[in-house]
């Protein structure tokens, strides 16, 4: 199971239409 803390760390872009299940996980930006 994924914890709430782990979910918060993801770069999730929720869709306007049913964003609770309709979303895109974008890559994290590179840290230089």
pTM of the model: 0.56
| pLDDT of amino acid 31 | 67
CB 11 within 8 A of CB 27: yes
Domain ranges for the chain: 1-27
Scan for tokens 């803390």, then name that residue.
5
Integer-rounded Cα Rg, in Å, for the chain is 11
SS3 7: helix
| 1-32 residue pLDDT tens | 999 999 889 999 999 999 999 999 999 877 66
H or E element, residue 8: helix 4-8
């Amino acid at each position: 199971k994924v914890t709430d803390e782990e979910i918060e760390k993801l770069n999730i872009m929720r869709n306007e239409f049913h964003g609770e299940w309709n979303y895109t996980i974008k890559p994290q930006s590179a840290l230089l």
